[in-house]
């Protein structure tokens, strides 16, 4: 064992993590590679036993069983054809308005967020289905791709969000309450996105022209039936998951099991379920969850060493020494979260930062649920802020090449939506009841 001051441990561990991430190594392996050597330096041979105990306490958490179930649910819905049916129905209703197709894209992204909850799946489906429709009808490439990325990334926030399932145990907050605090937050963002598109289309009609009436000349009754039949399945799924939690019928883990079962029934009803699809969904679920839980194990080890070596106290002292009192400290936390989100996946931030900053927020006197949602909304921006920005690169790869949409087009289009997230954060500061009212109504 070597005696190191907490300040030196903090600088070396955070510096090693930053260097490893910037050199392009997989973040999970970087986290583990930094944690283990420092653990041996601090505790010697006992580090393995100490870390095993800490990792076991996290991994055996019953609520984390919801993760593979929600992932399975999202992947099964991705293959059910629900997106195409929703788009065909909403296209007929909203296509006649300027910006209607972009608003349709955001609305479908919102519905998918409450059903799928997997960013890559939502952005990919919308990029393949919605962007070609918009660009071929004269929409600005930047607006079309920006609306697609913004709508697709709502899945990280709107429940059932895997991020919230992990945030709860890390901060020791009820996942059910996080779900119902995140729901109005996601709906507000969706409303702001749609409002911006409508205003932008009004000021600059050429960026989002209305679809010609001959392309949407469908009888009213047929349009209504199409809308209802496309909306009923996702509504059933949302009620099956969120309704059971809200009314106290089931915990998030049991609700995830119900959601996975209902998603399978919907795929069967749409005649998309067969042995090949079931095998692919199962395989992709195992792959995704394997990556996620590798991240969990490495991150828990890192946090254990970092806090055990005194790094948590050093970070806490630094933040609490910020000028302008509690709000100055809050601004520092939000800024650090935003910057980290530009380079690191949300899992690294939630699993490493949250156990460190949650006690700081409590010491500052912030409501734990409100603070958690501010961090989560901040992290939603990380999917749209380069250089990391996975939504941008997923969309770039999924949008058909013949449309000529460039990465620069996507970045230009997504920038206003990032600014709208900042506006939403400001509204949550001024009106915290937006986030806190619905969780208070939950039936225990």
Q: What does the pLDDT read at residue 335?
A: 95
C-alpha–C-alpha distance, residues 343 and 203, integer Å: 35
The residues, any chain, with a CB within 8 Å of residue 16's CB and separated by 6 or more, are 33, 34
Q: Quick check: helix, strand or coil at residue 428?
A: helix
Model pLDDT for residues 235-261, shown as the tens digit of each residue: 888 888 988 888 888 889 999 999 999
Q: Quick check: helix, strand or coil at residue 124?
A: helix
C-alpha–C-alpha distance, residues 104 and 62, integer Å: 38
| Residue ranges for the chain with pLDDT beneath 50 | none
Contact, 366 vs 429, CB < 8 A?
no
**Sole residue written with tokens 């399932």:** 165
The token duo for 367 is: 């409501």
Q: What does the pLDDT read at residue 178?
A: 95
Q: What does the pLDDT read at residue 173?
A: 93
Contact, 384 vs 150, CB < 8 A?
yes
Helical H segments across 137-251, by residue range: 141-152, 162-171, 175-203, 220-238, 244-246
Half-sphere exposure of 197 (CA within 13 A, CB side): 35
Distances (CA, A) of 85 to 89, 130, 227, 385, 440: 6, 12, 9, 31, 35
C-alpha–C-alpha distance, residues 78 and 142, integer Å: 25
Contact, 237 vs 266, CB < 8 A?
yes
C-alpha–C-alpha distance, residues 153 and 380, integer Å: 7
Half-sphere exposure of 424 (CA within 13 A, CB side): 30
Q: What does the pLDDT read at residue 127?
A: 93
The token duo for 261 is: 């079962």
């Amino acid at each position: 064992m070597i005696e190191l001051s907490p300040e030196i441990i903090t600088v070396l561990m955070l510096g090693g993590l930053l260097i490893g991430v910037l050199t392009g190594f997989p973040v999970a392996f970087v986290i583990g590679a930094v944690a283990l050597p420092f653990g041996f330096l601090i505790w010697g041979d006992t580090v393995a036993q100490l870390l095993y105990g800490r990792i076991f306490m996290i991994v055996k958490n019953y609520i984390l069983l919801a993760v593979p179930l929600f992932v399975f649910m999202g992947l099964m819905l991705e293959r059910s054809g629900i997106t195409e049916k929703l788009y065909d129905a909403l296209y007929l209703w909203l296509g006649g308005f300027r910006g209607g197709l972009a608003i349709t894209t955001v609305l479908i992204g919102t519905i998918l967020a409450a059903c799928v909850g997997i960013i890559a799946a939502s952005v990919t489906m919308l990029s393949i289905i919605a962007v070609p429709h918009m660009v071929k009808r004269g929409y600005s490439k930047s607006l079309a791709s920006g609306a697609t990325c913004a709508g697709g990334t709502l899945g990280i926030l709107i429940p059932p969000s895997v991020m919230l399932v992990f945030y709860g145990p890390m901060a020791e907050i009820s996942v059910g309450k996080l779900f119902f605090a995140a729901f109005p937050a996601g709906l507000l963002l969706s409303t702001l996105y749609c409002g911006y598109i409508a205003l932008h289309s009004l000021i600059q009609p050429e960026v989002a022209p209305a679809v010609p009436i001959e392309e949407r000349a469908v009888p009213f009754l047929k349009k209504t039936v199409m809308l209802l039949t496309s909306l009923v399945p996702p509504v059933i799924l949302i009620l099956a998951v969120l309704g059971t939690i809200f009314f106290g019928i089931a915990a998030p883990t049991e609700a995830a099991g119900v959601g996975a079962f209902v998603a399978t029934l919907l795929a069967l009803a749409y005649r998309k379920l067969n042995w090949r699809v079931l095998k692919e969904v199962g395989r992709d679920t195992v792959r995704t969850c394997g990556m996620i839980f590798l991240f969990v194990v490495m991150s828990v080890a890192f946090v254990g060493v970092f806090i055990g070596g005194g790094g948590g106290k050093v970070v806490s002292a630094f933040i609490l020494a910020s000028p302008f009192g509690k709000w100055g400290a809050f601004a520092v936390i939000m800024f650090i979260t935003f910057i980290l989100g530009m380079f690191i996946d949300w899992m690294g931030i939630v699993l490493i930062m949250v156990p460190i900053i949650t006690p700081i927020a409590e010491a500052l006197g912030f409501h734990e649920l409100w603070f958690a949602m501010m961090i989560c909304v901040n992290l939603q921006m990380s999917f749209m802020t380069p250089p990391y920005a996975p939504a941008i690169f997923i969309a770039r790869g999924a949008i058909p090449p013949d449309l000529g949409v460039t990465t620069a087009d996507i970045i230009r289009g997504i920038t206003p939506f990032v600014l709208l997230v900042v506006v939403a954060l400001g509204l949550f500061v001024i009106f915290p009841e937006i986030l806190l009212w619905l969780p208070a109504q939950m039936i225990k």
